Chain A
Amino acid sequence: MNPTDIPLIETRDLKRHFTIRPGALARLLARAKNIVVSAVDGVSLKIWQGETVGLVGESGCGKTTLGRVISRLDIPTAGEIFFKGFSLREGLPSGGDKSTPIERLGFYRVAQVIFQNPYSSLNPRKTIREIIATPLINRGLKDLNEREETIIALLRRVGLHPRNLDQYPHQFSGGQRQRIGIARALAMQPQFIVADEPVSSLDVSIQAQVINLLEELQDEFHLTYLFIAHDLSLIHHISDRVAVMYLGRIAEEGATDDLYAQPLHPYTQALLAAIPSLDKAARRQRIILQGTVPSPINPPSGCRFHPRCFARVGSICENETPPFFEVGKQRVACWKYQ
């Protein structure tokens, strides 16, 4: 890990709002208005070269949407993403030459995605050869033999045998399919990979294999990961830094060991207390949160967590959005640390 001055990926006040438009009739008769869902609502995050940032949060907190926006599968409503200091809004630096893959493919040339569900992320009508050849062709690998050798090397690298090259995805197990997905992502020779819950749909025994593979690949190809998961033990194992997300915003961020040793935000505390442990003495005190996650359609005012918080400091929690406070090396969005 060699943190330079410029982060590999930086997001500034990134927002992604979804607008639900009611039908013409409902609009006319019931005077229905557009509903805005704030899936991601002002996320500023820095990801440094070579590190793994874990993104945790419960279902519906916007972590997948954030991953999609950062990997450019989705377009942000507001805010900006920077790659090595260059705003993605202006395009990557390549001199505007359409013939260079970086201009044609844009951000996908450097950032790839590993998808959550290996059963739906591979086209059922394409052979493994075709699936892995697609990014190779698109990044300009024209020579057939070279391409063929690259495909075989990639397949071997992720632990599959080249004899499976002409089979279809349904002939593979979930773990094998995820390996194919990883090979497809690697084929683009990316620097940055968004892994959106890459093992959550796999068996526990297979999970460990895929995680180990991802860690090996990181060392070998100097990859940077944004690792999205809801499994806290997994995040603890794989991440260098962790960002905790709640209702479209980052609640707390810090180095993994610091954050797990001393969670600052009340939400992080509650989340970590929920990790099951076999060791009775090591069990943290359980914190049981009241209520459920509020809807992102009408998020609570002020601090998003205040209706469920057990450590409120006063009316400021309800009225004003907390900025990030630096506590030690952690950043926490909670008025308690003002």
Chain B
Amino acid sequence: MTAHAPTRVARGWDYSFRIRLRLWWRALAELGYELWQRPVVLLGGIVVAAFILAAVFAAQITIHDPTRGTLLLRFEPPAWEAEGNWKYPLGTDDQGRDLLTRIIYGTRVSLAVGLLSVAISVIVGTALGAFAGYYRGWLDEILSRFADLLLAFPFLIFAIGVMAFLGPGFVNLVMALAFKGWVEFFRLVRGEVLGERTKEYVDGARVAGQSNLAIIVSEILPNVIQSVFVLGTLRLGYMIIMEASLSFLGLGIQPPTPAWGSMVASGRDYLLVAWWVSTFPGLAILLLVVAINIFGEGLRDILDPRLKIE
């Protein structure tokens, strides 16, 4: 045998961690390059990032109080209108509160409800889907029928029912959305696990001494998680619309906490005299959801190798 060139003998997890970090960094750089090739997707990502930053630093970037206004300053028009004032760039609402401030604070509610409900849906749906797809049997039968049952309800009507039962509030809102949201992830993960479990590498892991749990968690799930991630991004926009719809109907976040849905609702009565009160929160919903969807679909194109081949 030929003598091997001297190599650094890798030692332990410290080394392994550095390698992993490098691989992550490389994957991230690759993702960045792919994004650069798709300017529209990149723009979507930038808009989403801007909303996230606005939500996090809402208190730092606004000068007005989001919940208390001056009644003397009701219905100030946007700054570019004849009677506008740059102190209130997007005008004020029926209680004299600055609209821009309230929209920025409203981002917090939309993103928090959206992210939390998607996160719970992902965790519950992935766990149940993985177990149902791997073990099959009665567990799968029961969960799949239950999922079918939930899918038969229109989402909004189902959420209205749950909210009417639980009562309004942030936690209840997240629960109501997640209670139906997990089904999508359950079906996705179950299907993918069904396809993965018969592959030879699963047998290989079993012969290597892996337990069923280890096979699910450390062998199969890493092969499935990418599609979960993509679906999660796409569902986030949907959840934000659901939150806005429920808040619009008065079942979601309660005033005076600014939420885009309830802001649209509060301006509805004054649409003819002060069009901006409803319009700008509505535009914010539109902008954020469109940006999330463009970004999510771009991400899917980049990450899904089946689409990449074309």
- Residue numbers of A with Cβ under 8 A of B are 68, 71, 73, 101, 104-105, 108-109, 112-113, 115-117, 120-127, 129, 134-135, 138-139, 144-145, 148-149, 152, 156, 161-163, 165-166, 181, 184-185, 187-188
Contact = CB atoms under 8 A, between A and B. Distances in A.
Contact of B205 (A123, A129, A145, A181): A123
B19 interface: yes
A56 to B, nearest CB: 21
B209 A123 contact: no
B200 A121 contact: yes
Nearest to A106: B209
Contacts of A122: 201, 204
Contacts of B205: 123, 134
Nearest to B196: A123
Contacts of A120: 199-201
B11 A145 contact: yes
Interface in B188-210: 199-201, 203-210
13 contacts: A108-B208, A109-B209, A115-B203, A123-B219, A123-B223, A124-B223, A127-B19, A144-B12, A156-B4, A161-B5, A162-B9, A185-B207, A188-B209
B137 interface: no
Given A121-B200, A123-B223, A112 B207 contact: yes
A163 B7 contact: yes
B138 interface: no
B10 interface: yes
Nearest to B10: A148
Nearest to B4: A161
B87 to A, nearest CB: 55
A1 to B, nearest CB: 26
Given A105-B209, A134-B208, A73 B203 contact: yes
Contact of B207 (A104, A113, A124, A165): A113
Given A120-B199, A135-B209, A161-B7, A144 B204 contact: no
Interface residues of B, number: 25
Given A129-B16, A148-B9, A161-B7, A138 B200 contact: no
Contacts of A162: 4, 7, 9-10
B140 to A, nearest CB: 15
Nearest to A138: B209
A73 B206 contact: yes
A71 B206 CA distance: 11
Contact of B200 (A117, A129, A145): A117
B223 A115 contact: no
Given A71-B207, A152-B9, 11 more contacts: A73-B203, A101-B209, A115-B203, A120-B199, A122-B201, A127-B19, A162-B7, A162-B9, A166-B23, A188-B207, A188-B209
Of the listed residues A109, A123, A139, the one surrounded by the most CB atoms of chain B closer than 10 A to its CB is A123
Secondary structure class of chain B's binding surface, majority of residues:
helix
A165 B20 CA distance: 12
Interface of B: 4-5, 7, 9-13, 16, 19, 23, 199-201, 203-210, 219, 222-223
Nearest to A118: B200
A116 B204 CA distance: 11
A184 B11 contact: no
A57 B293 CA distance: 54
A113 B203 CA distance: 9
A126 to B, nearest CB: 8
A148 B12 contact: yes
A311 to B, nearest CB: 39
Contacts of A112: 207
Nearest to B202: A123
Nearest to A139: B209
B201 A121 contact: yes
**Which 3 A-B pairs have CB atoms at the shortest separation, nearest pair first?**
A138-B209, A121-B200, A135-B208
B204 A121 contact: yes
A229 B209 CA distance: 26
Contacts of A104: 209
A145 B12 contact: yes
A166 B19 contact: yes
A115 B206 CA distance: 12
A245 to B, nearest CB: 21
Contacts of A184: 204, 208
Nearest to B226: A125
A125 B208 contact: no
A259 to B, nearest CB: 30
Nearest to B221: A125
Of the listed residues B19, B201, B206, B223, the one surrounded by the most CB atoms of chain A closer than 10 A to its CB is B201
A200 to B, nearest CB: 13
Nearest to A185: B207
B210 A134 contact: yes
Of the listed residues B12, B19, B206, B207, the one surrounded by the most CB atoms of chain A closer than 10 A to its CB is B207
A148 B219 CA distance: 21
Contacts of A109: 209
Nearest to B15: A148
Contacts of B222: 123, 125-126
B200 A115 contact: yes
Contact of A188 (B4, B7, B9, B208): B208
Given A134-B209, A138-B209, A148 B203 contact: no
A188 B209 CA distance: 9
Contacts of A113: 203-204, 207
A199 to B, nearest CB: 15
